[in-house]
Structure 1
Amino acid sequence: MRLAALFLAAATAVVTALPAQAQLSVSEISRYLNSFRTAQAAFTQVNADGTISTGDLMISRPGRARFDYDPPNRGLVIAGGSQVAIFDPVSNTAPEQYPLSQTPLNLILREQVNLGSSGMVVRHGGDATQTAITLQDPQNPQYGNIELVFTPSPTTLRQWKITDDSGQQTTVILGDMRTGVGLGTAPFNIPVEMRRRGVGN
């Protein structure tokens, strides 16, 4: 399944190894992720093949995200209605769709993020400048994992790296993220987007 290419990849520099002592605790990271339901940011994505894309991201928890890619890509990925849909900008065919529950991004799009769940945290480390935490679905580790990178004071999500079920990695680096923004539900409605594009069910 091409889940790595679905979601983003970030700048050419992947997070370097961090000291064992974490600056931000698991409970603080959980608190931060639960402190907002909507967010918007520009992003830079580094794909598994080394190519780089840019675009705009919208998040609306629970279960919704939208990645609009800039030209020349012009791609679109929507998570909504428990599905992930990949729209091809040059095709009039229906988008490829996958269950959101089978992607690591699902872990941070839940109604309530609880990183204290047994088996969810795979790695956790940091220093005074940044903290990295790697998560997986403890019931379905075969779906891959997501590494999140945060900076402190105030706690802010800066990037993530998804390793999908085939081992491919995609990194997404976020620009300044605005939280608590009004987004509505229409941007995350896959059937509405299909009708707008005139593609089949």
Structure 2
Amino acid sequence: MRKLALIILVAVTSQTTWADAVSDLKNYLSSTQSLQANFKQTVTSQQGKIQNSSGTLSIQRPGLFRWIYQKPFEQLIIADGKQVWLYDPDLKQATVKAMGKALESSPAALLAGNNQFERNYTLRPLPSREGIDWLEATPKQADQSFNSVKLGFSQGQLMQMELHDNFGQTTRIYFSALKINPKIDASQFRFTPPKDADVIRE
């Protein structure tokens, strides 16, 4: 009897967590047109080596985002709806690539893309951890650079992301100071490389 009760409890808990996580994601996609936040990021290699960084992000859905690494080195990643720019001020190097269909199947699509996430991802529930409800999104296209992305919500707010790539690395992103639907100047999503920058087009 105790074993049966435990099985029922686990099943109900899993369904509740799943419902909460899916509801939070759908609410984010339907109600969030813009977002600003601070973030801290840790990248753990397959050998256990950890790299820490931090910065700010701005998102205007669909398709616009400004992701700025401030520490330990400055780096800009800007999407203007047609192209994605990556600029390294220290190297004076700018890389630009078309957004295309690749972005539609990337983790950025869950934050800055359209609402058709289930077309590109297979979703499954994960256990809650420390008050955060989790779900895992696995790309339906097998040729992506990552295996899965996990999204963690608390009280309807996106708090964490975990990306697991094909090189055995785990990237964890922690969000703070979130502002939902702020007015963001359109210039934040435009980038013109400096005249002395080396521009690489992919």
Q: Give the TM interval when normalised to the shorter protein.
A: 0.7 to 0.9
* 1:53 CA drift (Å): 0.5
More strand by percentage: 2
Corresponding residue for 2:150?
147
Q: TM-score, normalised by structure 1?
A: 0.73
* 1:171 CA drift (Å): 1.4
SS state of the match for residue 162, structure 1?
Answer: strand
RMSD over aligned Cα atoms? 2.7
Name the CA distance, whole Å, in 2 between partners of 1:96 and 1:52.
Answer: 25
For structure 2, the 5+ residue unaligned runs are 1-12
Corresponding residue for 1:79?
79
The one-letter amino acid paired with 1:109 is A
The one-letter amino acid paired with 2:14 is A
The one-letter amino acid paired with 1:20 is S
Change in Cα spacing, 1:171 to 1:80, as seen in structure 2 (3 Å) is: farther
SS state of the match for residue 59, structure 2?
Answer: strand
State, as a whole percentage, how many aligned pairs show the same letter.
Answer: 24
For structure 1, the 5+ residue unaligned runs are 1-18
Equivalenced residues, count: 175
Higher relative contact order (CA 8 A, sep 6+): 1
Equivalences for residues 30-109 of structure 1 within 5 A: 30-49=26-45, 50-95=50-95, 97=97, 99=99, 100-101=103-104, 103-109=106-112
The structure having more radius of gyration, on CA atoms, is: 2
Corresponding residue for 2:124?
123
* 1:165 CA drift (Å): 4.7
2:174 is equivalent to residue 180 of structure 1: no
Decide which moves more: 53-62 or 96-105.
96-105
Corresponding residue for 2:137?
135
Where in structure 1 do 4 or more consecutive aligned residues deviate above 4 Å? none
Name the CA distance, whole Å, in 1 between partners of 2:185 and 2:97.
Answer: 22
Q: TM-score, normalised by structure 2?
A: 0.73
Change in Cα spacing, 1:95 to 1:66, as seen in structure 2 (3 Å) is: same
Name the CA distance, whole Å, in 2 between partners of 1:51 and 1:130.
Answer: 24
Question: Could you give the per-residue CA deviations for residues 105-138 of structure 1, whole angstroms, max 9, x where no partner exists?
Answer: 2233223x245x3672332134492211111332
* 1:76 CA drift (Å): 1.4
More helix by percentage: 2
